[in-house]
Amino acid sequence: MNQSTLGQTNIISILFFFLFIALTLYITFWAAKKSKTASDFYAAGHSISGLQNGLALAGDFMSAASFLGIAGMVALTGFDGLIYSVGWLVGWPVVLFLIAEPLRNLGKYTFADVVAYRLRQKPVRVVAAFGGIVTVIFYLLAQMVGAGTLVKLMFGLPYEAAIIIIGGLIIAYVLIGGMLATTWVQIIKAALLLGGATVLALLTLARFGFHFGALLETAEQKFTINFLLPGGLVKNPLDTISLGLALMFGTSGLPHILMRFYTVPNAKEARKSVFFATGFIGFFYILTFILGFGAAILVGHDVILNIDKGGNMAALLLAEVLGGQVFLGYLAAVAFATILAVVAGLALAGASALSHDIYASVIKKGNPSEKGELKVAKYSTLGLGIVAIVLGILFKGQNVAFMVGLAFAVAASSNFPALLMSILWKKFTTPGAVASMLAGLGLAIILIILSPTIWVDVLKHPTALFPLKNPGLVSIPASFLVGILVSLVTREKEAGERFEAEIIQASLGAGGGK
């Protein structure tokens, strides 16, 4: 490939994008008619099926960063990209085995419902909501800044305009259509993206006689066997394992993922949804691997690097080579849609932490008027949408790729340990939960600042004070340890007494044995 039309205004792409917006806004108004109660707004009235929720969950993970970023990483580094994507997948079985079912049976709308189940509401809710919001904001920031840059690269649209369009649309989806609209936007996007990536992978394989081995052999001839072997990513295996642990347990602590388990009617559907999600995501990463190899061979490293140093445009360039302007336009529009769908889910998760955990459970002590809670939820959504726009513009041009890793580290170190201990451990106490969440949150943030990720790459110091790029290996066990130690030195009789009720409800569903 010699040159690309990427970055010029692409009419086809804009057309596809308007089609997507029209369709999703239509769905949003349809959803608005069905959404009246708080349960509708937060949890789509528990009306989503396991398969639909599986697609929506998969959609949350098939973000622009993972589609464009991992394809780019495979295109530039080969096998390392596969190692990286495997880390993203293995969190899903953990969500299923440890979290999905008790979460669905014990909680109402947020993960803090479960952490605070038998502990003192006020301190636990406040800290859990804080951890949830911090996770959401880091994730959101990475999505927004990445989005602005991508849109500029793809359409030539100014950065600020892209940010404001995204912010405005997600506010509309969530505010008007609540969780039902947010879920369907995510489902449609996931289907469009999976469809597009499958066609692109088939077009790639067609060039190699539909022979996966031939694709790999061509890459080997062109880039030597090193391209098919582990490279820089596992030079320090502790680094990779630390990142892997953060991804593995972070998935079980992401508020926007956990919230989706309340949209299905029962634990059975919740389990099924993880099975479908894992299948879709795994299939998608295998496709992404094929696309990365295809791009390396058919587009070439020079062209990929020329357009974007990070390699983010590899999949789109491949689409241009194999499917021409129309296919490029389609895929670029879907990549933009991807960002919208993920950010909408994040905004809803953040808003529910404010309205359900802080307003309804702490300020109104668990007895809010439904109208009042919904009102606060909607104002919070509007507020978070505006925060997303402002942060997106403030951080323009900054290197925020590490923000996603940080969001996972915080989720794995702050939200996940408290959630797990509250489900499993009788002697867990309120001070234990609060200390565990604060320690996890604090350590994750402090260690990542001292790590090569920020201390060297962003702040330009010569050597890092903490050797690992991701804090997970230290901050996750530390959070468990702090939670255990503090719980052991404090006693909370009522919390221990309510443990049996919690286990019964977690196993038998709401209403316990009654």
Partner 1 sequence: MDEKKIFQEQEFQELYRKRRLVSFVLTFLTMGIYIFFILLDAFDREIMAYKVFGGVTLGISMGIGVIIFSWILTGIYVVWANQKYDRQIESFRRKVGNIQ
Q: What distance in Å separates the CA atoms of residue 227 and residue 463, rounded to the nearest whole number?
A: 29
The residue range among 91-99, 152-160, 371-379, 457-465 that interacts with partner 1, by the rule CB under 8 A, is: 91-99
Is residue 94 within the footprint of partner 1 (CB under 8 A)? Answer: yes
Is the CA virtual torsion 442, 443, 444, 449 positive or negative? Answer: positive
> What is the nearest approach in angstroms of partner 1 to the Cβ of residue 231?
9
Binding partner 1 by CB under 8 A: which of 45, 59, 72, 87?
A: 87
Binding partner 1 by CB under 8 A: which of 393, 449, 456, 504?
A: 504
CA nearest to 434, candidates 477, 478, 483? 483
Of the two residues 229 and 459, which places its CB atom closer to partner 1 in the complex? 229
The number of residues that bind partner 1 (CB under 8 A) is 54
Q: What distance in Å separates the CA atoms of residue 377 and residue 384, rounded to the nearest whole number?
A: 10
Of the two residues 67 and 289, which places its CB atom closer to partner 1 in the complex? 289
Structure token pair of residue 98: 């440890």
**Rule CB under 8 A: which of 113-152 touch partner 1?**
none
Residue 428 dihedral angles phi and psi, to the nearest 5°: -65, 135
CA nearest to 272, candidates 261, 282, 283? 261
CA nearest to 203, candidates 120, 281, 299, 277? 299
x/- mask, partner 1, residues 384-423, rule CB under 8 A, reads ----------------------------------------
Structure token pair of residue 467: 């050797």
x/- mask, partner 1, residues 175-214, rule CB under 8 A, reads ------------------------------------xxxx
Q: What distance in Å separates the CA atoms of residue 172 and residue 194, rounded to the nearest whole number?
A: 25
Specify whether the backbone of 44 is left (phi greater than 0), alpha (psi in -120 to 50) or beta: left
The residue range among 59-67, 80-88, 342-350, 392-400 that interacts with partner 1, by the rule CB under 8 A, is: 80-88
Structure token pair of residue 159: 């950065």
* Furthest C-alpha separation in the chain: 71
> What is the nearest approach in angstroms of partner 1 to the Cβ of residue 280?
10
**Cα 178 to the center of its chain, rounded Å:** 19
Binding partner 1 by CB under 8 A: which of 44, 55, 65, 82?
A: 82
Is the CA virtual torsion 377, 263, 340, 245 positive or negative? Answer: positive
**Rule CB under 8 A: which of 211-230 touch partner 1?**
211-214, 216-217, 220, 225, 228-230
Binding partner 1 by CB under 8 A: which of 326, 424, 484, 485?
A: 424
Binding partner 1 by CB under 8 A: which of 22, 481, 501, 510?
A: 501
**Rule CB under 8 A: which of 252-311 touch partner 1?**
268, 271-272, 274-275, 278-279, 282, 285-286, 289
**Rule CB under 8 A: which of 233-252 touch partner 1?**
234-235, 237, 240-241, 244, 248
Is 483:501 a contact under the CB 8 Å cutoff?
A: no
Cα distances (angstroms) measured from residue 219 to each of 1, 135, 206, 294, 361: 16, 39, 15, 9, 57
Q: Which residues contact 342 (CB under 8 A, 6 or more apart)?
A: 59, 60, 63, 64, 143, 186
Of the two residues 158 and 237, which places its CB atom closer to partner 1 in the complex? 237
> What is the nearest approach in angstroms of partner 1 to the Cβ of residue 505?
9
Is the CA virtual torsion 177, 183, 184, 190 positive or negative? Answer: positive
* Residues lying near partner 1 in the complex (CB under 8 A): 79, 82-83, 85-87, 89-90, 92-94, 96-98, 101, 211-214, 216-217, 220, 225, 228-230, 234-235, 237, 240-241, 244, 248, 268, 271-272, 274-275, 278-279, 282, 285-286, 289, 424, 500-501, 503-504, 507-508, 512-514
